[in-house]
Amino acid sequence: MSMDRRDFMVAGAALVSAAAAVPQAAQAASGKGATARHRRIAIEEAWSIPEHLDALAALATGEWDNLDAQMIDTAGSKSQGATSKNLMDTEARLAEMDRLGVDMQILSLTSPGVQLFRKGPAVDLARLANDRLAEIVRARPTRFGGLASFAPQDPAAAAKEMERAINELKLHGFVVNSHTHNEYLDDPKFWPILEAAEALDRPIYIHPRAPSDGWSHVIGGNHMQAAIWGFAVETGSHAVRMMLNGVFDRFPKLKIVIGHMGENLPFHLWRTDYWYERRRDSYASKLKPSEIMKRNFFITNSGVEHGPALKYSIDVLGADRVLWAIDYPYQPMKPAVDFINSVDISEENRALILHKNAEKLFSIPTART
């Protein structure tokens, strides 16, 4: 959007048609010679449909004092912003992928997804978005994957939609945009969602949105609620709530992905462990946060093209817990490609981060050689 990170609108788009092979550009991409041999799968890539963006725009036209609503483009589908065009235009997206050697993007409905809406409309809109996303994936299965949306407002319906998304639509996992009406996934009311994800053996990507209402007097204004600070505060806090409140004791095989180099958690993990150990009896979890991070969590570098941060995350969590992402269209593709091509890491770790971890985590077929 024109207000910081989200330019929620649509300029129209065509659904993709014929299946495409891995782009030639991927075989001859710029960067280190060894890097050009690696498949590139980008994990956190935003996408939307006209109905979604129009519905969001309608929510933002009133007097609702909501941090997410403040970032929505009220012009909706009538806008002509470049970011909003790129959300919908899969052909232009694909051309840029070809140019830069990005083999595949995993698409997900742009934040805040369906989580601002009432229960009934949210359930219907998630289903519609998943159907449209599945069409795109079916048309070009080697170029696009998809994370299914669901409506946490109705946990039972969400679990059913998650099952449909994997078993019928053949999508690759799930996306949720942190809190829903100021409530978090550690609340037992949402446990049918976590149970479904664990049973289906597919990860939930917890994507940022503006912090819940309790933060509004601290973090509102000057776009602090967005990518500059609020997104990491919100999503990192959500993850820690889940860790400390026993979610992963109950769901030991649950897989969670968080972006933006782990929403700052890798860099605070030593201190989090230290205070967990001092007050262990205060928390429902029998595992310390670092143990949960290394067992149940994966991170992406979405929107963070910083070598020291990536190398630190690899050192703390292991390269098998880190995946590559662009954060398109909110950040451009070329700097993300240039970064992963040139960052000083081993080729073994580069291959894990670029494609091997994603193939395993999201059940993506390996590329033909």
Tell which wins on pLDDT, 9 or 171.
171
What are 292-312's pLDDT values in tens digits?
Answer: 999 999 999 999 999 999 999
Element (H, E) at 317: helix 307-317
Query: Which tens digit of pLDDT belongs to each residue from 281-296?
Result: 999 999 999 999 999 9
Average the pLDDT over 67-91 and give the result.
Answer: 71
User: Is residue 222 pLDDT above 80, yes or no?
Assistant: no
pLDDT of residue 58: 85
| Residue 166 in this model has a pLDDT that exceeds 70 | yes
Active-site residue list: 327
pLDDT at residue 344 is higher than 80: yes
pLDDT at residue 23, as a whole number: 44
Please tell me the distance from the alpha carbon of residue 308 to that of residue 344, in angstroms, as a whole number: 9
Q: Closest by alpha carbon to 300, among 271, 346, 274, 331?
A: 331
Return the minimum-mean-pLDDT range out of 3-7, 35-39, 67-71, 212-216.
3-7
* 0.85 surpassed by pTM: yes
pLDDT of residue 71: 73
Q: What integer pLDDT is reported at residue 173 of this predicted model? A: 98
Task: Return the exposure string of 331-367: e unless at least 16 CB atoms fall within 10 Å of the residue's CB, then b.
Answer: bebeebbebbbebebeeebbbbbbbbbbeebbbbeeb
Q: What domains, with CATH codes, occur in the chain? A: 29-361 (3.20.20.140)
- 32-54 pLDDT, tens digit per residue, is 444 447 999 999 999 999 999 98
The string of pLDDT tens digits covering residues 118-156 is 999 999 999 999 999 999 999 999 999 999 999 999 999
Mean pLDDT score, 231-236: 95
The string of DSSP codes covering 135-162 is HHHHHSTTTEEEEE---TTSHHHHHHHH
Higher pLDDT, 228 or 31: 228
